[in-house]
Amino acid sequence: MGNKDKSQSVIKRKDLQALFDSLIKKGYSTYGPCVQDGAVVYDRIESVSELPIGWTDRQDNGNYRLTKTKEKRLFGFVVGPHTWKKYLYPSESKLWEAKRSGHEFEIVAEVNQPYKQAFIGVRPCELQALAIQDKAFLEGEFTDVSYLQRRQNVFIVAVNCVQPGGTCFCSSMKTGPKASGGFDLALTEVVEPNKHYFVVEAGSSAGVKILKEIPGKAAGEKEVLAAKKALRKASSKMGRRLDTDGLEKLLFKHIDHPHWNEISSRCLTCGNCTMVCPTCFCGNIEDVTDLTGQTAERRRKWDTCFSVDFSYIHGGSIRSGETARYRQWMMHKLAYWPEQFGTFGCVGCGRCITWCPVGIDITEEAGVFKREG
Amino acid sequence: MATAQQNKKMVKGGPAYPMLVRPYAIRRISRETYDTFTYELTPPRGSGGVSFAPGQFNMLYVYGVGEVPISISGDPAKPQALVHTARIVGAVTKGIKRLKVGDSLGVRGPYGSSWPVEEAVGRDVVLVTGGIGLAPLRPVIYYLLINREKYGRIVLLYGARTPEDMLYTGELERWRGRFDLDVRVTVDRATGSWRGNVAVVTQLIKPAPFDPMHCIALVCGPEIMMRFTILDLEKRGVDYDRIYVSVERNMKCGIGLCGHCQLGPTFVCKDGPVYRYSDIRTIFTKREV
């Protein structure tokens, strides 16, 4: 994604469908937010009308509600329980198949045709989450080929956040509310009396190309300023805050602190936080056979460090206690990740706070250690 | 997710994918103890053996059952014969136990870090091992014996639960007969005609003949045994940065992608299994990390 075109354009609300149409014409499968079962989720969508028009989300510890607003915003909500990782690292996928003949077997790799997926409505925190998963899957000694096959052709339409959610803290993690890179196009939605438009920035040559096919004009000073103002206001409206200064060292220092027990006395170790987390990459490998035993498969599934099995070796689990399992998750995000990948494993999206059934708040708990000093 | 499914097509071969296993044929099975067996494997037709460094492991796959990380216990100078010693404790190793000579066993690897045989040049080498922990150290012993003149005194301290639990007894006897190798063996519980030491392996450290200021210690065994070994090595004056340990954790991928084997900020599959003790001391001494 080279060739940055810093100049911005304006696309009117009524012309946004052209973006979907161009992408579809170019052979992309388009995915975006839509309302399902009372939540904004990501699914295959092909038109603006399928977006959660006029919906907004209220989020708090263990709490998520959608409500209608008078404004007919297309992106007037933040993030729901889904993450884009489900299209790059599916919750379950087949890696290979083995065929048995006599005492021997032969392995046949699962090869995927090149994917051409377009994600519409990727939030700045989610862009950083993609970058973090790229590090885990692509930048180590071994490349995760199935991730690479899905990742390499993705077209990303980011949407900057002008209305942060109740559990958002991207400002603290320095991942938002404005996208700084990792997108092909980035939109900022502006709604004014009798005016509804998007200020668009291209982040790649592919983005520039697509932009040319959509009716629009160069952004004027007024429009650029309106978008800027909305984003500046957003930074101060974050529902949560996390002071990350020296946090990594502090957590190591307090690794035996009794507060871990206090947190785990509330934690149900259900693993919800890991399922909704856009950076969690841990997976399990399952080897299975069909009923005849002639064909075996290797499958990969999302796994969670909250399960007892996760750390099982003969004789027992390494992290058998709830305290150790919660500590592993939070320490991984905020203390181990920086050593492993040079960045926090948390992007400040707030999903783990919202979708925790008992409302455990990572910013609050990390804050306790922070106050200990 | 519709498109992803539609676009899938099975193609033979495919790109080099690190999760693919290669079927090796079992050439020989030897019984070490009542629950531990050594398997000699031959590479698939038309391909050579894969060279490895002492201390590395392979992922071994039993058709349809699953995969486990097992250290390589053979001679690094003879990579054409892949040798693994496995204790039969879980579903996959029980699957291995059911295999016979000629059957296929899937192999991926070798993975992970290795014992510091270069750093040890010119020094005494102390190997402290318990139970099945001798298997990951056997390649080092082969290596040290081939390059014997490069090293000072070599001391092997080996503890097993009972005489019946001892691995490689024939080899141990041969090694004990050598003048350039000091082999000391002990059991926790004596049975039958045992006339040797009865003590935990850590008790062999104090009287062992090595220069604590000028040695490298390689430790492999159950975690509790390694902790106490380190205490006794420290008492003798061996610095933490000259002690190496081999750590065991749950592993699903072996290549740093699945997250299961994390030990603090490290991945045992790629940063380990062999660690310089001083690098992980603060984490290794914590419970349930």
Number of compact structural domains in chain B: 2
Q: How many CA atoms lie within 13 A of A154 on its CB side?
A: 26
Q: Which whole number is the average pLDDT over A186-210?
A: 96
Q: Judge if the upstream peptide bond of residue B110 is cis by omega within 30 degrees of 0.
A: yes
Task: Tell me: pLDDT of A4 over 50.
Answer: no
By Cβ distance, the residue of A105, A145, A313 closest to B249 is A313
Chain B interface includes A332 (CB < 8 A): yes
Chain B residues 98-117 with a CB less than 8 Å from chain A: 100, 102-104, 106
Under an 8 A CB cutoff, do A103 and B104 touch?
A: yes
* Tens-digit pLDDT profile for residues B185-232: 999 999 989 999 999 999 999 999 999 999 999 999 999 999 999 999
- Position A320 pLDDT exceeds 70: yes
Tell whether B273 is covered by a domain: no
A97 token code pair: 């198949």
Chains A–B, number of C-beta pairs less than 8 Å apart: 171
User: Residue range A287-316: average pLDDT?
Assistant: 95
Whole-angstrom Cα distance, residue B271 to residue B255?
A: 10
Q: pLDDT grade, residue A373 (50/70/90)? A: confident
The token pair at B75 is: 């001679």
Closest residue, chain B, to A31 (C-alpha): B1
Q: What pLDDT, on the 0 to 100 scale, is given for residue A1?
A: 40
Residue B258 in domain: no
Same domain, B164 and B104: no
Chain A residues in contact with B13 (beta carbon < 8 A): 108-109
**B37 and B141 inside one domain:** no
Given B55, B89, B111, the domain boundary residue is B111
B25–chain A Cβ distance below 8 A for any pair: yes
The alpha carbon of residue B281 is apart from the nearest alpha carbon of chain A, in Å, by: 13
**B5 inside 8 A of chain A by CB:** no
CA distance B55 to B243: 14
Q: Give pLDDT, residue A201.
A: 96
**Cβ <8 Å between B61 and A283:** no
Query: What CATH number has the domain bearing residue B208?
Result: 3.40.50.80
Q: In the predicted model, what is the mean pLDDT of residues A19-44?
A: 97
Contact (CB, 8 A) for A319 and B288: yes
pLDDT tens, position by position, A250-272 = 999 999 999 999 999 999 999 99
B259 falls within a domain: no
- Cα B132 to Cα A246, B85, B116: the distances in Å are 42, 8, 20
| Residue A208's pLDDT band (cuts 50, 70, 90) | very high
Q: Which of residues 259-298 of A touch B (CB under 8 A)?
A: 281-289, 293, 296, 298
Judged against a pLDDT cut of 70, whether residue A325 lies above it is answered with yes
Alpha-carbon distance of B47 to A14, in angstroms, equals: 62
Query: Is B6 within the bounds of a domain?
Result: no
In this structure, are B163 and B219 located in the same domain? yes
Query: What is the average per-residue pLDDT within A16-32?
Result: 97
Q: In Å, what is the CA distance from B240 to each residue of B131, B141, B158, B218, B283?
A: 23, 22, 21, 11, 14
Q: Identify whether residues B64 and B138 lie together within a single domain.
A: no
Contact B1 A141 (CB under 8 A): no
Please tell me whether residues B135 and B234 are part of one structural domain: yes
Provide the CATH number for the domain around residue B47: 2.40.30.10
Is B3 in Cβ contact with A310 (below 8 Å)?
no
Interface of A with B in 104-143 (CB under 8 A): 104-115, 117, 136-137, 140-143
Residue B6 has pLDDT above 70, yes or no: no
Q: Average pLDDT, stretch B3-10?
A: 29
pLDDT at residue B4 is higher than 70: no
Confidence of residue B1 (pLDDT cuts 50, 70, 90): very low
Q: Is residue B68 domain-shared with residue B140, that is, in the same domain?
A: no
A160 in B contact zone (CB under 8 Å):
no
Q: Which of A119, A142, A317 to mutate to test the interface with B (most CBs of B within 10 A)?
A: A142
Q: Does residue B83 sit within a domain? A: yes
**Domain ranges (residues) in chain A:** 5-93+113-235, 247-282+304-372
**Which tokens hold the place of B279?**
């690098």
The answer, yes or no, to whether residue A57 has pLDDT greater than 80, is: yes
Q: Which of B87, B111, B135 is the last residue of a domain?
A: B111
Same domain flag for B39 and B102: yes
B4 vs A298: CB contact, 8 Å cut-off? no
Q: Does a structural domain hold residue B274?
A: no
Q: Which of A34, A93, A103 to mutate to test the interface with B (most CBs of B within 10 A)?
A: A103
Q: CA A229 to CA B287: how far, in whole Å?
A: 50
- What part of A 31-90 touches B (C-beta under 8 Å)? 44, 86-87, 90
Q: What chain B residue is nearest to A145 in terms of C-alpha separation?
A: B17
Q: Is the ipTM of this complex over 0.90?
A: yes
**What pLDDT is stored for residue B7 in this prediction?**
29
Domain residues for the domain of B78 are 22-111
State which residue of chain A sits closest to B223, comparing Cα positions. Answer: A318
| Contact (Cβ atoms closer than 8 angstroms) between residue A125 and residue A79 | yes
Q: How far is CA A99 from CA A117, A290, A297, B96, B210, in A?
A: 32, 10, 9, 18, 53
Residues 227-256 of B with CB under 8 A from A: 248-250, 252-253, 255-256
For residues B190 and B227, membership in a common domain is answered with yes
Q: B69, B86, B111: which is the final residue of a domain? A: B111
In a domain, B10, yes or no: no
* B81 and B176 inside one domain: no
Calculate ∠ Cα B54-B114-B66, nearest 5°: 80
Contact A63, A358 (CB under 8 A): no
- Please report the residues numbered 258 through 287 in chain B whose beta carbons come closer than 8 angstroms to any beta carbon of chain A: 258-260, 262, 264-267, 270, 282, 286-287
Q: Is B122 on the interface with A (CB under 8 A)?
A: no
- DSSP assignment of B147-209: TGGG-S-EEEEEEESSGGG-S-HHHHHHHHT-TT-EEEEEESS--TT--SEES-GGGGTTT--
Chain B contacts of A296, Cβ < 8 Å?
Answer: 63-64
B214 touches chain A (CB under 8 A): no
Chain A residues whose beta carbon lies within 8 Å of the beta carbon of residue B12: 108-109
Query: Is residue B289, in this structure, part of any structural domain at all?
Result: no
CB atoms within 10 A of CB A225: 12
